Amino acid sequence: MGQGKGLKNRGNKRGDVAERLAAVSEETGTEYRAIADYGFDPELASKNIENMIGVTQVPLGFAGPVTINGEHAKGSFLVPLATTEGALVASVSRGMSVATAAGGITARVLSDAMTRGPVFRVDGIEHGIRAVAWIEGNMAKLKDVAGATTNHGRLLGIRPFLNGRNLFLRMSYHTADAMGMNMATIASEAVCAAIAEGTGATLVSVSGNVCTDKKPAAINSILGRGKTVVAEAFIPKGLAEARLRASPSAIAETAMRKNLVGSAMAGSLGFNAHAANMVAALYIATGQDPAQVVEASSCFTTCESDGDGLYIAVRMPSVEVGTVGGGTRLPTQSEALDMIGCKGAGKAGKLAEIVAATVLAGELSTLAAQAAGHLGKAHGELGR
């Protein structure tokens, strides 16, 4: 269609975008007023999209305020959430309000490493073992090779997985405040070239799926990918009953039977109520890669009840976020990052803690609603 009408893959200058949209409109017989209505120079999106014809706008709201007691995120935050699901923002706000009244949400980043997992072809097991030994003996050289491709990233380590004539290498990188997939890929290509030269192994693909990117995978749940983040809160019994309309014991039982037993019976890699809801809304709002909601959905939500109240915690082994590069450069996404003080260098850990705290708040509210039998009522009133 486009090239047939003389519209080649050109940049995102406003004239090019308008011309391209006109061609699409002619081809489909539909007029696109809303798609054509946007308020920024499309050249700003030149590194984010090809064949741009306009924008898709998603409603943006905020949840909070929420008090976060993190290592990087400290204080009170209004959290931007972009979603079309009614009741989501209200539910997260309720969880935030209760957690804040209880003293806030504690969050910490436990580890930080983006991965790329190339696959090599080797002659057999002995060749694979020799290749692994060469890699282990030349790590300093390989780190230098990776470092030469980037000013901000560095190779942390390589974990081998040998399977017959397949040698998988899960390479881990520190990528500073970028999400880091492109950085890790470019560095891995250079490292793989050095490994092929030094071992005689043949690179088949720079991504062999042990990374694992944008697919549910136990390896990410166990080893982590991006930032592994934990968050916790303690809700006193009286506060839970007054504000959540459910007892701590009922919420804890719901979490155990639903998140743990139910998920295990289903073979799920996500042991949570709806972590992907909060992650998707926050990722879209702040210019993250929304496909990586897949990894973030492998969240573990646990609850414990004692005589005094409810302890709730989330473990998120794969929070892949950045505060520089990618979609964070776009105007509305940049402003959303500004809303939570996460724009620019030195803020990725802070954003990761805010993600975990937001997920915990959403989990708390939804588990309480299910324990109290109020979930359908809330969606009926707000989500229709």
Catalytic residue annotation = 85, 289, 379
Neighbours of 360 (CB within 10 A): 31
Q: Are 199 and 126 in contact (CB under 8 A)?
A: no
- List, in sequence order, every residue forming a beta bridge with 315; answer none if it has no partner: 230, 300
Give the H/E segment covering residue 347: none
Cα-trace Rg, the chain = 23
Q: What string of H, E and C letters represents the secondary structure of 288-323?
A: CCHHHHHHHCCCEEEEEECCCEEEEEEEEEEECCCC
E strands, the chain, in order: 60-70, 74-82, 105-116, 119-121, 154-163, 166-174, 202-205, 226-236, 300-305, 309-319
Q: Are 57 and 82 in contact (CB under 8 A)?
A: no
Neighbours of 122 (CB within 10 A): 21
Q: Which long-range contacts (CB under 8 A, 24 or more apart) does 213-219 make?
A: 213/181, 213/292, 213/295, 214/291, 214/292, 214/294, 214/295, 215/294, 216/269, 216/270, 216/294, 216/295, 216/297, 216/298, 217/269, 217/295, 217/298, 218/269, 219/170
Question: Which two structure tokens, joined as six digits, stand for 239?
Answer: 């506060």
Around 232, how many Cα atoms within 13 Å sit in the side-chain half-sphere? Answer: 9
Among 289, 295, 314, 290, residue whose Cα is nearest residue 367: 314
